[in-house]
Structure formats: C-alpha cells, structure tokens
Amino acid sequence: MAFTFSINNTFSSLADGWYQFKEALKAGGWAVTQTGDGVTYSSVSDLITTATVMNNTRAWFVLTQPVVDGYQKFICIQPGTSKYQVRVKLSWTGFNTGSPSGTVVPSAADEKVILGSGSDATPTYEDFLNSSFNLIRSNIIIGDAASKYAFFWMCNRITTGGFGSLFMIDRVTDAHALDIDPYVYFMHGSSSYPSTLNSISGNIITNTTGSTSRFWCWVRKGYSDQVFTKCFMNYFNQGIGIANNYFVGLLGTNPYDGNDTLLPALVFVGGQLNASSLLTSLSMYKGQLVNAQLNGVTRVALDTGTSKLKVYNGPLVFPWNGTDPTV
C-alpha cells in the first residue's frame, strides 16, 4: 500500500483549507465531478480553480472515488459562509437528482449527511475548522488503490498541537463476506481548537449514542433492511468492575524491546443505536481498521516515534512518510 501526503500545510484563508483538501484528494486519485462556484454550476468539471473561488458564498464540490471492488463513493462538500462550518453528504450511487445550481448542491437517493443538517436548498452548517485560519496546521493522507482510497485529514493548532479536526474514511478487515461496504466514516471538528496538547475527545470515538458519536458505518448494505448507523471503537477496558480504565494511551512500552505497542482499532455496532430502525436488536463487529491504529502510549501531537512511518494524534496513529511533521 502506498499513500499520497499533503503535509505541514498552513492556510491563507479558511476557504484555502477546503481548496487544499480538494486538490490533495485529486492528487491522490479522486476526481471532482460536479461543482458550484457560487454563481455557475457544472455537472462535469471543477469550476473551483482557486481558493478565491472557493471563498464564494455557498460554493461546493463533489469528490468521486475511483471504483473499488465494483463500487464507488461520492462526497458532497459545501462550506458555510464563514468557511469554518460545513455540510457534508455521502452517496454510493452518485449525486444525480435534485436541483443543483451554483449555490445549491445536488441530491442522491441514498445520501447520508454526516456533518451539518437541513436541506440542500436551506442547509445548516456545523463546525469543522478552527474559526481562525492562521491557527491551523493541516495534514492529509490519501491511500492508493491497494489501500482502497482511505484518507485522513487532520488539523491541529499551530504551536500547541491541539487536535481539533478529523475527517476519515478507512476500510476494515475481518468484515463479513457479504458486507459490500466494509468502511467506517468519521468527521468531527471545532471552531476553537484546544490550546494545550490534548486531543480529539475519546468519547467522540467510543460513545455509541447521541450527538457526540461521530463514527458511522453501513450494516447490511444492499439489503432491504440496510441501515447507516453510528458505531464505536473499542478502547480495551481492563476488566469487569473497572470503569473507564482503558489500555489505550496507558499500556506503556513493550517490556521486551521497549517499543510502543500499537493496538488494533476494532469497530462495533451496538443494538441500542438502532432503537428506531428495522434492526432493533442488532449488535455486531464491523471489523478492524486497516490503516489507522490506537496508541498504547500517549504521545504529543504529531510525534512520529523513531521510524517516522507512523504519526500519533490523540488516541489514533496514522501512516506517515518518514519526514518530520511541523506542529
């Protein structure tokens, strides 16, 4: 597996952040197939040629993943007027309905909103980037065909390293043979990044209910009772009767060689998540993330260890390219 890296980036504006993200995914093999530049709509090309165009009110774009195992993903992204907020939708059949225009995004029969709310005509945006562009350090990691085009966009606060934003799509191993969408989807951010060396909150990753849960996945995708539901990651509790005492970040180094232990990121779906769906009693193991892992030792933001082939950020560890990141 190989990765394309767009790292150690700063922004000239918040709109420049979205423009850099779009361009990085294009360099990693994704295509921009539809755009609205705030005035004009194109169903075939990328009209957002600069960060200045991206800054137009209600400009938007659709990213299209190359075909993987016979399937594709489509991501529709429309930042709000302030550009630190955004509304993001996913589709697996394509955004080919609705009434798209220079300021209105297209629709898809199977679309799922993972950040923001409202309608295409009257969208409601949600915080993702820090509201001050000059405080953001951006790193984008995009997988190739072998890694099924997984990607990770993480933003930290300059100097302090506070981990404020993460947009992630990663594949899982150990998925059931009939699971046609063995992926997890995560997007969370804030308009004010932490000013100290802390991280994306653990309960956002491990919580199974409510607005704090930011992980999503498909269960029984392609079946009549399919559901796009919240999921969660296991932090390896130490045992029955020991509440909130996890191995993640607390395990320490390996006693044989002194190296960090990287833990598998195991994803589960809990039955309580589906109380109003067709799958009322469902609990299942979705799988293990292929490219992201959990740390056994808490390290400062963007630490790369000795090999520099992994980068630590909060509880998560991502692939890295052997260079020194900048905080």
Per-residue model confidence as pLDDT tens digits over 210-227:
666 788 999 999 998 888
Range of the domain at 104: 3-127
Higher pLDDT, 146 or 277: 146
Higher pLDDT, 141 or 258: 141
Percent of the chain with pLDDT over 70: 92
Percent of the chain with pLDDT over 90: 71
Residues 31 and 89 in one domain: yes
| The pLDDT of residue 241 | 64
Among candidate residues 231, 225, 190, the one with its CA nearest the CA of residue 209: 231
Query: Phi and psi dihedrals of 125, rounded to 5?
Result: -100, 160
| The pLDDT of residue 278 | 43
Whole-model pTM: value is: 0.93
- Average pLDDT taken over every residue of the chain: 91
Q: Is the pLDDT of residue 305 over 90?
A: no
Domain boundary among 93, 127, 161: 127
Q: Is residue 263 part of a domain?
A: yes
Q: Is the pLDDT of residue 139 over 60?
A: yes
Q: Is the pLDDT of residue 142 over 80?
A: yes
Is 171:180 a contact under the CB 8 Å cutoff?
A: no
Q: Is the pLDDT of residue 41 over 90?
A: yes
Higher pLDDT, 63 or 307: 63
| The pLDDT of residue 283 | 81
Is 106:155 a contact under the CB 8 Å cutoff?
A: no
Reading the block at residue 232, the tokens are 């969660």
Domain boundary among 127, 161, 192: 127
Least confident span in 3-7, 235-239, 264-268: 235-239
Q: Is the pLDDT of residue 273 over 60?
A: no
Residues 198 and 84 in one domain: no
Residues 197 and 156 in one domain: yes
| The pLDDT of residue 205 | 80
Q: Is residue 89 part of a domain?
A: yes
| The pLDDT of residue 271 | 59
170 - beta bridge partners? 184
d(C-alpha 218, C-alpha 114), whole Å: 13
| The pLDDT of residue 209 | 64
Residues 251 and 184 in one domain: yes
| The pLDDT of residue 266 | 95
Alpha helices, DSSP H only, in 157-201? none
Domain count, the chain: 2
Residues 302 and 225 in one domain: yes
5 - beta bridge partners? 141
Q: Is residue 132 part of a domain?
A: no
Q: Is the pLDDT of residue 318 over 90?
A: yes
Compute the residue count for the chain.
Answer: 327
Residues 282 and 170 in one domain: yes
| The pLDDT of residue 150 | 96
pLDDT tens digits, 195-212: 887 667 777 787 766 666
pLDDT tens digits, 109-129: 999 999 999 999 999 999 999
Q: Is the pLDDT of residue 253 over 60?
A: yes
Residues 163 and 299 in one domain: yes
